[in-house]
Structure 1
Amino acid sequence: MTVEYRTARRDDEIALSALWATAFAGAPVEDLWAAAPERHRHTLVAVDDGHVVSALHHQPRPLRSATGAVERVGCVGSVATLSRARGRGHVRALLAAAVRAMTADGCAWSLLFTDTPGVYEGEGWRTFSRPTWHGPPAGETSAPRPGHEARVRTALAADRTALAALHDAYDAHRPLTTVRTADDWAHRVPTWYAPATTDTLLAEDAAGRPVGYVVLRRHRDGTTDVDEIALGAAAPAEPLARALFAAAAERAGPGTVRVHLPADGAVLAALPVLLAEAWVTDDRTGMARPLHATAAAVRATVTAPGAAHWYGDSF
């Protein structure tokens, strides 16, 4: 029987749920998809003998370019294929259909993250580099004094407005960042940064005003990921980063700490407060593909100094 490649329908939802639950066990893929606007139109499926055997989701998102301008970017995720249907070209066919759909939707370029870049390279996506630091958490003897009198505490749901303001200011011109909406803060960010696995630490000055935050995600193996930061302009950046990192080091598990933050001066200067020793690796899980934009313009955005795509904006 001929395989059909098409957009998803409401009666595909049970099959999609089962596929994603198997492929992304523990990740809130279905929860995010259920809240995505026009989710059926932006989901492509391969149907073999009446069964969904492969799927991907492409979602237009507003991202900042190398110049700080906001572009419409087609973000590709939730790519999965049943084990019995792999190796038959389904993902390649769905990617080709996604390129056509995203181009027609006016997307300047496309962004995705993967540990298996081969199939995407064949369809025009190219990897880009992001530095990642990792090492053991700093202890009391190895961590220098924070140098800032900020009070750091766990952020609460009531702090959402303050977090959003800090985020918007810190990323106002930062390439590769997403322009978050109120709906993102209400649904997407809490879904990825769930309190059960995540600590969002908020720094306040002596007057109790929010001045910065950092996000840590804890894993069962003891590893901790530092996935987002915002340093407000109301406090000196390096001492503030030190205060946040000192609190983060106390919260980190006993295993490795991995830091996924931009190589900004304040972040680099404060790293010894967080990591007793630091090794830098080249993270090449990010991939980009031009659509309406030129390849040079896309490359300028993803390789720009200070470029960052936060985990809380995952799609």
Structure 2
Amino acid sequence: MTPAYRTARPDDEAALGALWTTAFTGAPVEQLWRLAPERHRRTLVAVDGDDVVSALHYQPRPLRSATGTVERVGCVGSVATLPRARGRGHVRALLAAAVHAMTADGCAWSLLFTDTPGVYEGEGWQTFSRPTWHGPPAGPATRPAPEVHVRPARAADRAPLAALHDAYDAHRPLTTVRTADDWAHRLPAWYAPVTTDTLVAEDAAGRRVGYVVLRRHDDGTTDLDEIALGAAAPAEPLAGALFAAAAERAGPGAVRVHLPADGAVLAALPALLAEAWVTDDRTGMARPLHATTAAVRATVTAPGATHWHGDSF
């Protein structure tokens, strides 16, 4: 039987949930999908007989460009195929349909993240580079004396942290313009407190002046996934204090740093990593739609360009 490709229907939800639960163990894919506006028409499925065997979802999100403008970007995620249906071209067909849908939806370009870029390259997406540092956590002897107080985040910190984030990313390419709904739902989903620490820095007056987010994994490794440094404290000592606190909380394995290559971040890395090795993360991929190839490439390769894990899709 020839497979059919179409948009999702309400009666597909159970099958989609089962597919994503199998493909993305521990990730809040279905949870966030159920909150997405117009989720059915923006979810494309391959149906073999009565079974949904492959799916992807795209969601338009407001991202900052290299010029500082905010663009509507088609963020592609939740791409999964049942094991018995792999190798039959379902994802390629769904991607081709997604290109048409995102173009009609007014998206300037499309963004996705993957460890298997080959199939996406065939449909017009191209990888881009993001520097990542990794190494063992720094020991107490190498940590500077903190000039601010660092503590775990509390529920009452949400609004001040959102303000810090907005100011820090105000002109940063590739970052998402977060809404109150993002802070209420998306951030708690991706930064679950069971595995994640958000550490807040306060100055002597009790003002929140910065934060970092780290995620610990079962294998003992830790990812440092987000930072915001406020203007009310010197950037390098502030980053150093946050990094020192993160090193104390990191697991025994390597720490991976997914942060922008800003001067204060680079200068403070010794407070976090005893040794630092840089690798070239090429999991990000972009495809022009209404925008030009040059404009998209300028955004994803701009100095300091960053896409935070909490804005995953």
TM range (shorter): over 0.9
Cα deviation for residue 68 of structure 1 reads 1.1
How far off is 1:83 after superposition? 0.6
Aligned pair count reads 313
Residue segments in structure 1 that go unaligned for 5+ positions in a row: none
- Give me the whole-angstrom Cα distance separating, in 2, the residues matched to 1:88 and 1:115: 19
**Counterpart in the other structure of 1:29:** 29
Which of 293, 296, 303 is matched with 1:298 structurally?
296
Q: Deviations over 1:127-149 (max 9, x none)?
A: 000000000000012x2414x42
- Name 1:259's counterpart in structure 2: 257
Q: RMSD in angstroms over aligned alpha carbons?
A: 0.6
Distance in 2 (alpha carbons) for counterparts of 1:230 and 1:145:
19
Q: What SS does the aligned partner of 1:284 have?
A: strand
Distance in 1 between the 2:130 and 2:171 partners?
A: 18
Give the whole-Å Cα distance in 2 for the aligned partners of 1:196 and 1:161: 21
Instruction: State the alpha-carbon separation in 2 of the partners of residues 72 and 204 from structure 1.
Output: 35
Q: Secondary structure at the match of 1:195?
A: coil
Alpha-carbon distance between aligned partners in 2 of 1:132 and 1:264, rounded to the nearest angstrom = 12
Displacement after TM superposition at 1:2 (Å): 2.1
SS at match of 2:299: helix
Distance 1:308 1:255 in 2: 24
Tell me which amino acid in the other structure corresponds to 2:61: R
Look up the match of 1:126.
Answer: 126
2:40 counterpart of 1:40 = yes
Tell me the equivalent position of 2:208. 210
One-letter identity of the residue aligned with 2:252: P
**Paired residue for 1:190?**
188
Shift of 1:298: 0.2
Q: For 1:275-315, what per-residue CA distance to the aligned partner results, in whole angstroms no more than 9, with x for missing partners?
A: 00000000000000000000000000000000000000001
CA distance in 1, matches of 2:156, 2:120: 41
Q: Aligned residue for 2:107?
A: 107
> How far apart, in 2, do the equivalents of 1:113 and 1:195 lie?
24
Partner of 1:219: 217
**2:144 corresponds to which letter in structure 1?**
R
Determine the structure 1 residue equivalent to 2:232.
234
* C-alpha distance in 2 between matches for 1:224 and 1:37: 33
Shift of 1:17: 0.6
In the alignment, is residue 11 of structure 1 matched against residue 3 of structure 2?
no
Shift in Å, 1:41: 1.1
CA shift digits 1:157-215 (9 cap, x unpaired):
11100110000000000000000000000000010001101000000110100000000
- 2:297 is aligned with 1:313: no
Amino acid at match of 1:132: T
Match of 2:53 in 1: 53
The structural deviation recorded for 1:114 is 0.1
The one-letter amino acid paired with 2:46 is A
CA-to-aligned-CA distance 1:217-269 (integer Å, 9 cap, x gap): 00011000000000001111001000100100001011110000000000000
Map 1:53-202 → 2, pairs under 5 A? 53-141=53-141, 143-146=142-145, 148-202=146-200
- Residue type at the aligned position of 2:154: L
Percent of aligned pairs with the same amino acid: 86
Residue 23 of structure 2 corresponds to residue 20 of structure 1:
no
Deviation string 1:104-156 (CA, Å, 9 cap, x unpaired) is 00100000000000000000000000000000000012x2414x421100001
Deviation of 1:47 after TM superposition, in Å, equals 0.3
Give the gaps of 5 or more residues in structure 2.
none
1:288 aligns with one of 283, 286, 289: 286
Output the CA distance in 1 between the equivalents of 2:305 and 2:43. Answer: 28
TM-score scaled by length of structure 1: 0.99
CA distance in 2, matches of 1:174, 1:145: 28
The one-letter amino acid paired with 1:73 is V
Alignment partner of 1:245 is 2:217: no
SS of residue in 2 equivalent to 1:84:
helix
Q: Does 1:269 find its partner at 2:267?
A: yes
d(CA) in 2 for partners of 1:150, 1:165: 19
